[in-house]
Amino acid sequence: MSDQSVENSKLVHIERETWRNFARKAMRNRSFTIGAAITLIILAMALISFFWTPFDVTKLEIIKRLKKPDATYIFGTDHFGRDMFSMIMVGSRNSIAVAFVAVAIGLVIGVPLGTLAAARKGFVEEVLMRFNDLVFAFPALLSAVMITAIFGPGAINAIIAIGIFNIPVFARLSRSAAMTIWPREYVMAARVAGKSSARITIEHILPNIANLLIVQATIQFSLGILAEAGLSYVGLGTQPPMPSWGRMLFEAQTMIGFAPHMALFPGIAIILAVLGLNLLGDGMRDLLDPKLRRER
Amino acid sequence: MLSIKNLSLTIGDISVLKDIDLNIKPGQIMGLVGESGSGKSMTALAVMQLLPHASKTSGEIRFGDLDILNATEKQMCNLRGDEIGMVFQEPMTALNPVKTIGEQIAEGIRFHTGASGKDARDQAARILEQVGLPTSKFGLNRYPHELSGGQRQRVVIAIACAIQPKLLIADEPTTALDVTIQAQILDLLKKLVEENNMGLLLISHDLGVIADAADEITIIRSGEIIEAGPTRDILRNQSHPYTRQLAKASTHVPVRKTKPVTALDAKKAQTPPLLQVTNLICEYPTKRNSLFEKPLPFRAVDDVSFDIFPGQTLALVGESGCGKSTLARTLLRVHEPHSGGIEFEDMDLLNSGHQEIIAARRHMQIVFQDPYGSFNPRHKVSNIISEPMHLVKRKIGKDELVDALIQVGLEANDLEKYPHEFSGGQRQRIAIARALITKPRLIIADEPVSALDVSIRAQILDLLNYLRDKFRISYLFITHDLSVVRAFCDDVMVMNSGKIVETGSVSQLFDNPASDYTKQLLAAAPDLQKTLSARNS
């Protein structure tokens, strides 16, 4: 047996190596590092905006309106004389909050539905997935417009609208992923041990599909930011005086000829946030999903 | 024709092959035998120069006049497929699913000979005829998914032999196939060697297969050649201890301390059966044709009845797709049967309440084939083996878990490890520990030793035997390997397309098989002992 334990300790050693390899690979994965850096910067911006912004975003100073970017107002000011940089900081808070809660809604409702469909099969599955298809068939923004049109514009309703769009995404993903885990023998062993489907789902299915869900959540997060910007742009999202990236773009529209900076900076902010999250998601998929992992 | 001299191979910092010497002459079958990880496949890949990145070779591989290790990629491309053909283990993935078999065979012919499309197709048809797939029945425009595993392997061989290579490398060509198909494929390879006077490097872990087919044999272990020479001499003399060990493990029979329990004896002694299955029928829905039609059922288990008595080891033998696993899963009530009866110790398992079934289940546990797929990779061994305790509704103490591990030959500190830290044989021990934790009366073992190397297989059989003696456990032992049945089981049930075709004690069934199907199975099974005595005489 001593030979055996030597062998075992070697294996443990190899496993620790792989963890270090994993960290090294993560650092070497360009989309992961760039994506993570951008996301962290935007997150930091949002957090700092709670305590400090260069200027007060609710204070209107008409004298200072439409200033070009300079040393004091690095992104310039808008037509009410508010500091664009401060508004983008506060706006990021909004975008992140809306997208985060919307993804959470998708996860909390979609994943149980999807895993339930995978566990039950038959009629339950059919009903759940066809209902999913129905929700999925509406373009995200359209259904969001519909919901906010009925319940009135506002950040909360925007969250609900985007969240509802996220539900079928997660339901489908978790169902198909769970279906690949169900026929595994360790699930069979758990069934032989008399465990219920719910318990098997929690103990065996979810930990093994978590990778996929995390990656998808990152990507949905970026889509959420985009959707929030879109809703605010048409006036159905965050309401004034709270700044929001989408509405900043809308307000810039009429002034684009003589104050292009008003459109430029919120636009860049949206692009960067979406790009950063997508890169992060892609990088994580490369790192977490062994089937898609490529050696570089 | 092919000569390998002092071939050494390192991948990264790991030495894979050390000083390999191998010679193959035209018309000769060279058997390369070794356990998993011994470097068999790497030797083949070195000849084809298809080694993974970061591998360094030294020594010499000569094929005719060509020095393979120093050949350019262009020279190798001409060599591969033209002069050297290769057959892989898995016929399911070796063919391109979106191309017809005719296209796939013709592709190589056109590439290497520059033949026109029509000539290549004609030649493909000829080759298919040669491998036993006449074009009248198996048209060139068939797709791989329309063929069975054995037929696909024939297509793979046809592709490899399409332009009559001088050397064919077959890496475990029959491992994924049923015994009757295995015998056919081996015969086919032997025939091709004879007709085309080509050399064959036959790689296998199964000494029985090699002993039957190969003229010369090379035994390899951890990258080093242990012994080489004519098959007959090597296997008769068994001069090297490792050769002896391999041969012994291949024909290992665990020593049983208690008397075998056959159904006949048990019935005479009027012992009540532990498990009684009557007229069991299981059906699967097939693909439905339209949304509103009921899908047609496929009968996987067709009117099966049998008993298992306390302490009895009943083998369930059959080829893949015959319904063995469906039967096992139905017994455990993981599948719902269509009709029939399952009684466990006088309790009707089909019509009892949930609580009673849970209570009965603690006496029935299962061990799976695949020691890699049967554990949740994210659980520790302690979690894995205590999982069935859910049935008993009791928390299990650490002492009991340690006992359970020691019982199957593992150590106490293995509890905190994850499954990937163990070898295949150790994992199978964990699987057995998990099955034993509720102190079951019946263990359903679904191909428990099929994925293991022979020496590990012998150890696991010994362990199962020890547990059978100690706890008087009954086994339903599902396998396709008749040598294991003979070594380990009391009674045998032979299953074919959902039906039980024959039942009897091991000696009766092996010596006097009644049904044609059983006879066919027995004739096809490679039997080392038989081959040896045939070769000796």
Report the domain count for chain B: 1
Listing from the earlier edge strand, what are the strands of the sheet with B66-67? B14-24, B2-11, B55-63, B66-67
Task: With cut-offs at 50, 70 and 90, classify the pLDDT of residue B476.
Answer: very high
The reply to whether A7 falls in a domain is no
- Contact A189/B417, CB-based, under 8 Å? no
Report the domain count for chain A: 1
Q: State which residue of chain A sits closest to B368, comparing Cα positions.
A: A185
Cβ neighbours for B271, distance < 8 A, ≥ 6 positions apart = B309, B310
pLDDT, tens digit (0-9, with 9 covering 90-100), for B5-50: 888 888 877 888 888 898 999 989 999 988 877 888 888 888 888 8
Task: With cut-offs at 50, 70 and 90, classify the pLDDT of residue A1.
Answer: very low
- Contact B414/A208, CB-based, under 8 Å? no
- Contact B411/A5, CB-based, under 8 Å? yes
Q: What confidence score (pLDDT) does residue B202 get?
A: 92
**Is 60 exceeded by the pLDDT of residue A15?**
no
DSSP B525: S
Q: What confidence score (pLDDT) does residue A112 get?
A: 93
Q: What confidence score (pLDDT) does residue A290 get?
A: 53
Whether residue A112 has a cis bond before it, omega within 30° of 0: no
% of chain A surpassing 70 pLDDT? 90
% of chain A surpassing 90 pLDDT? 12
pLDDT, tens digit (0-9, with 9 covering 90-100), for B165-178: 889 999 888 877 77
Q: Give contacts of B368 with chain A, Cβ < 8 Å.
A: 185, 188-189
**Is 50 exceeded by the pLDDT of residue A295?**
no
Task: With cut-offs at 50, 70 and 90, classify the pLDDT of residue A296.
Answer: very low
Q: What confidence score (pLDDT) does residue A281 get?
A: 86
Vertex B306 angle, CA B301 and B312, to 5°: 125
pLDDT, tens digit (0-9, with 9 covering 90-100), for A66-109: 777 777 777 777 777 788 888 888 888 888 888 899 999 999 99
**Is 50 exceeded by the pLDDT of residue B108?**
yes
In B197-226, which residue ranges form alpha helices assigned H by DSSP?
Answer: 207-213
Q: What confidence score (pLDDT) does residue A229 get?
A: 86
- Label the pairing between strands B474-479 and B442-446: parallel
Spatial separation of the C-alpha atoms in residues A76 and A241, rounded to whole Å: 19
Retrieve residue A29's tokens.
């994965």
Alpha carbons within 13 A on the beta-carbon side of B424: 17
Nearest to A190 among B377, B378, B387 (CB): B387
For residue B118, the enclosing domain spans: 2-250
- Contact A195/B377, CB-based, under 8 Å? no
Domain containing residue A94: CATH number: 1.10.3720.10
For residue A252, the distance in angstroms to the closest alpha carbon of chain B comes to: 52
In this prediction, residues A138-153 reach a mean pLDDT of 79
- Contact B376/A207, CB-based, under 8 Å? yes
Q: In chain A, which residues touch B (CB < 8 A)?
A: 1, 4-5, 7-8, 11-12, 15, 184-186, 188-195, 203-204, 207-208
Burial label for A134, CB within 10 Å (0-12, 13-18, 19+), is exposed
Q: State which residue of chain B sits closest to A296, comparing Cα positions.
A: B53
Spatial separation of the C-alpha atoms in residues A202 and A205, rounded to whole Å: 6
Spatial separation of the C-alpha atoms in residues B521 and B494, rounded to whole Å: 9
Q: What confidence score (pLDDT) does residue B283 get?
A: 84
Q: State which residue of chain B sits closest to A122, comparing Cα positions.
A: B285
- Contact A185/B414, CB-based, under 8 Å? no
For residue A136, the distance in angstroms to the closest alpha carbon of chain B comes to: 22
The reply to whether B499 falls in a domain is no
Q: What confidence score (pLDDT) does residue B537 get?
A: 57
Q: What confidence score (pLDDT) does residue A294 get?
A: 44
**Is 60 exceeded by the pLDDT of residue A2?**
no
Q: Which of A13-17, B53-57, B78-82 has the lowest mean pLDDT?
A: A13-17
Q: What confidence score (pLDDT) does residue A13 get?
A: 45
Task: With cut-offs at 50, 70 and 90, classify the pLDDT of residue A114.
Answer: very high
Q: Give contacts of B387 with chain A, Cβ < 8 Å.
A: 189-190, 193, 195
Retrieve residue A44's tokens.
């930091």
- The whole-chain average pLDDT of chain A stands at 81
Q: Give contacts of B356 with chain A, Cβ < 8 Å.
A: none
Q: If DSSP codes are grouped into helix, strand and coil, which group holds residue A46? A: helix
In this prediction, residues B235-245 reach a mean pLDDT of 86
Nearest to A11 among B377, B388, B421 (CB): B421
Cβ neighbours for B363, distance < 8 A, ≥ 6 positions apart = B344, B345, B438, B440, B441, B442
Phi, psi of B522 (to 5 degrees): -65, -40
Q: What confidence score (pLDDT) does residue A170 get?
A: 93
Spatial separation of the C-alpha atoms in residues A188 and A186, rounded to whole Å: 5
Cβ neighbours for B227, distance < 8 A, ≥ 6 positions apart = B218, B219, B234, B239, B240, B242, B243
Q: What confidence score (pLDDT) does residue A149 get?
A: 80
Q: State which residue of chain B sits closest to A126, comparing Cα positions.
A: B291
Spatial separation of the C-alpha atoms in residues B357 and B347, rounded to whole Å: 9
Q: Which of A20-29, A86-95, B124-133 has the lowest mean pLDDT?
A: A20-29
In this prediction, residues B501-530 reach a mean pLDDT of 86
Q: What confidence score (pLDDT) does residue B475 get?
A: 92
Could you tell me which residue, A18 or B141, shows the higher pLDDT?
B141
pLDDT, tens digit (0-9, with 9 covering 90-100), for B64-81: 888 888 888 888 888 887
Task: With cut-offs at 50, 70 and 90, classify the pLDDT of residue B535.
Answer: low
Longest dimension (CA), chain B: 75
Q: Give contacts of B388 with chain A, Cβ < 8 Å.
A: 189, 192-194
Q: State which residue of chain A sits closest to B389, comparing Cα positions.
A: A193
Q: What confidence score (pLDDT) does residue B196 get?
A: 85
Q: Give contacts of B417 with chain A, Cβ < 8 Å.
A: 8, 12
Domain containing residue B99: CATH number: 3.40.50.300
Retrieve residue B401's tokens.
């878990």
The reply to whether B67 falls in a domain is yes
Q: Are B336 and B297 in contact (CB under 8 A)?
A: no
How many Cβ pairs within 8 Å bridge chains A and B? 72
pLDDT, tens digit (0-9, with 9 covering 90-100), for B304-339: 999 999 889 999 998 877 888 888 888 888 788 888
Q: Give contacts of A203 with chain B, Cβ < 8 Å.
A: 376
Spatial separation of the C-alpha atoms in residues A256 and B133, rounded to whole Å: 74
Q: What confidence score (pLDDT) does residue B536 get?
A: 62
Spatial separation of the C-alpha atoms in residues B326 and B336, rounded to whole Å: 10
Q: Are B249 and B455 in contact (CB under 8 A)?
A: yes
The reply to whether B457 falls in a domain is no
pLDDT, tens digit (0-9, with 9 covering 90-100), for B415-449: 888 888 887 788 888 988 888 888 889 999 988 88
Task: With cut-offs at 50, 70 and 90, classify the pLDDT of residue A289.
Answer: low
Helix axes A111-120, A206-233, angle to 10 degrees: 140
**Is 60 exceeded by the pLDDT of residue A16?**
no
In B10-138, which residue ranges form alpha helices assigned H by DSSP?
Answer: 40-48, 73-79, 101-113, 117-130
ipTM higher than the 0.85 cut: no
Q: What confidence score (pLDDT) does residue B29 get?
A: 92
- The whole-chain average pLDDT of chain B stands at 85
The reply to whether B410 falls in a domain is no
**Is 50 exceeded by the pLDDT of residue A6?**
no
% of chain B surpassing 70 pLDDT? 97
Retrieve residue B506's tokens.
């091991």
Cβ neighbours for A126, distance < 8 A, ≥ 6 positions apart = none
Nearest to B376 among A7, A186, A191 (CB): A186
Task: With cut-offs at 50, 70 and 90, classify the pLDDT of residue A195.
Answer: confident
DSSP B80: B
The full DSSP string for B350-407 is: SSS-HHHHHHHHTTEEEE-S-TTTSS-TTS-HHHHHHGGGGGTT----HHHHHHHHHH
Between the CA of residue B383 and those of B358, B376, B417, B437, B439, what are the distances in Å?
A: 20, 10, 10, 12, 17
The reply to whether B435 falls in a domain is no
Q: What confidence score (pLDDT) does residue B318 get?
A: 85
Q: What confidence score (pLDDT) does residue B287 get?
A: 65
- Contact B373/A186, CB-based, under 8 Å? yes
pLDDT, tens digit (0-9, with 9 covering 90-100), for A242-275: 788 888 888 888 887 887 888 888 888 899 999 9
Q: What confidence score (pLDDT) does residue B133 get?
A: 82
Q: What confidence score (pLDDT) does residue B491 get?
A: 92
Task: With cut-offs at 50, 70 and 90, classify the pLDDT of residue A293.
Answer: very low
- Label the pairing between strands B313-317 and B474-479: parallel
The reply to whether A173 falls in a domain is yes
The reply to whether A197 falls in a domain is yes
For residue B489, the distance in angstroms to the closest alpha carbon of chain A comes to: 24
For residue A256, the enclosing domain spans: 31-288
Amino acid identity of residue A230, one-letter, is G
The reply to whether B193 falls in a domain is yes
Spatial separation of the C-alpha atoms in residues B123 and B167, rounded to whole Å: 19
Task: With cut-offs at 50, 70 and 90, classify the pLDDT of residue B288.
Answer: low
pLDDT, tens digit (0-9, with 9 covering 90-100), for B366-393: 888 777 778 888 888 888 888 888 877 7
DSSP A74: T
In this prediction, residues A131-155 reach a mean pLDDT of 80
Beta-carbon count within 10 A of B455 CB: 16
